[in-house]
Amino acid sequence: MLKIAFRPEYAHPLPKNHRFPMEKYELLPEQLLYEGTVTEDNFFSPDLLSESEILAVHKKDYWDKLKNLTLSRKEERRTGFPLSAALVERERIINQGTIDAANYALQYGVAMNIAGGTHHAFTDRGEGFCLLNDIAIAAQYLLRTAKAKKILVVDLDVHQGNGTAEIFQDNPYVFTFSMHGKSNYPMHKETSDLDIELEDKTDDKTYLDLLRKTLPRLIDEQEPDFIFFQSGVDVLATDKLGRLGMSIAGCKERDKIVFEHCYNNEIPVVVSMGGGYSKKIAHIIEAHANTYRLAQDIYF
Ligand SMILES: [Zn+2]
């Protein structure tokens, strides 16, 4: 069964006219239920992530500032969200969702989180709508509990997975692969184990050819026994923040390539949702919904 982490807290209230499309966390589960891609049984409610899991990835100073709501104004502004106890709680729930999803993926081959992919969270700071790095936290959990020995992070959000790259820069058990817009945020990029930088307006064919070439090679070389997929849909041409030129069909094909490689190689995969900032919310929802539709089609 396709298990999907979700709680109503994912859709966190933001000030009016905030540029983050928070409503997608409400609309996507609604759409998936409405069209019959999932039923209520597919969803599970994660609890609050423990501090020890947080501290396995993030520096204590930083976590203390989050917990005590004492980020400086500048640090808070860099995260993109107004800091509050409810926001920190939301982040802990989402991050526990990715750990739970990892356990479900070991059982069912795939599991997903209706949020997460918070790849701009570093060991010691948050930025770009990311406070705690869910993929890093779940990866450390899998390694520590010996549920995985070698992890591949496939980060296909239009923005570089800079926080994930920093967190695992000296860790030989996690291979970080990020394919992203060259001229997109972050301007200063970290060094992932493999970075592929894409020119502005990169089209479906160029993108998909590159992915089809790269992913099987990485799986052969790295022999991962677990994959995290950051499936940001800000690769779309309609995205306000992204600079690529992909169609919704191209984005769906991208997800299909990732799932098929995981499925055919019997490597469990967790999908964290990642970004999506198209002007029309319908485009964001459609592209994210495709990822869930594909998981159902391919695995179940
Ligand atoms: Zn992004």
pLDDT digits (tens, 9 = 90+) for 73-108: 999 999 999 999 999 999 999 999 999 999 999 999
Q: How far is the CA of 179 from the centre of ligand 1 (A)?
A: 11
Q: How far is the CA of 234 from the centre of ligand 1 (A)?
A: 6
Burial of 60 (0-12, 13-18, 19+ CB in 10 A): exposed
Q: How far is the CA of 274 from the centre of ligand 1 (A)?
A: 6
Token pair recorded at residue 69? 């709501």
Q: How far is the CA of 28 from the centre of ligand 1 (A)?
A: 17
Q: How far is the CA of 299 from the centre of ligand 1 (A)?
A: 26
Token pair recorded at residue 159? 């923005």
Q: How far is the CA of 276 from the centre of ligand 1 (A)?
A: 7
Q: What b-and-e string marks burial along 229-258, b requiring 16 or more CB atoms within 10 Å of the CB?
A: bbbbbbbbbbbebbbbbbebebbbbbbbbb
Q: How far is the CA of 133 from the centre of ligand 1 (A)?
A: 14
In degrees and rounded to multiples of 5, residue 113 shows phi and psi of: -130, 125
The mean pLDDT value for 228-244 works out to: 98
Q: What is the pLDDT of residues 136-194, one digit of tens each?
A: 999 999 999 999 999 999 999 999 999 999 999 999 999 999 999 999 999 999 999 99
Q: How far is the CA of 146 from the centre of ligand 1 (A)?
A: 30
